[in-house]
Amino acid sequence: MLVPRPLHWLPLTAALFACCGPAVASQAVGDPAAYLEFESVPDGRCQILSEGGKLRVLHNRHASLTIDYRLLRVFPPTRPQGLVGGTIAAGAEPAKLGCTRVDGREQDWVLKRARYAPEE
């Protein structure tokens, strides 16, 4: 027969909820990576750099929270070229990452980590 274990964490959870309120808890629900969206947009400089190139940007689609991110820049299929990190506020202009083609080679970015930025 299984004996239920005491839930020692329950009073702590209730205290945090009472202290911070439901608004803070509900804002941060969900994976921050789900709110980051890549887009390739036409750009004259990228087109000059390499025919067919577009500017790759990253949007934060969350309504109110800032997101910290870390990306891996790659030349497909698997040649990593470095890490890029930054912060995007909700409703801010998208972060410009770079051109999708460099010297005729494809370039892309892969999301490695995303988290909600601490509130200041």
Enumerate the domain spans of the chain.
Answer: 31-116
Q: Is the pLDDT of residue 11 over 60?
A: no
pLDDT of residue 81: 84
pLDDT for residue 103: 87
Structure tokens at 40: 């390739």
Give the tokens for residue 35: 């709110």
Are 88 and 67 contacting, i.e. CB atoms less than 8 angstroms apart? yes
pLDDT greater than 80 at residue 16: no
CB atoms within 10 A of CB 57: 17
Q: pLDDT by residue (tens digit) across 42-65?
A: 999 999 999 999 999 999 999 999
Percent of the chain with pLDDT over 90: 64
List pLDDT tens digits, range 75-104.
887 678 899 999 999 999 999 999 999 988
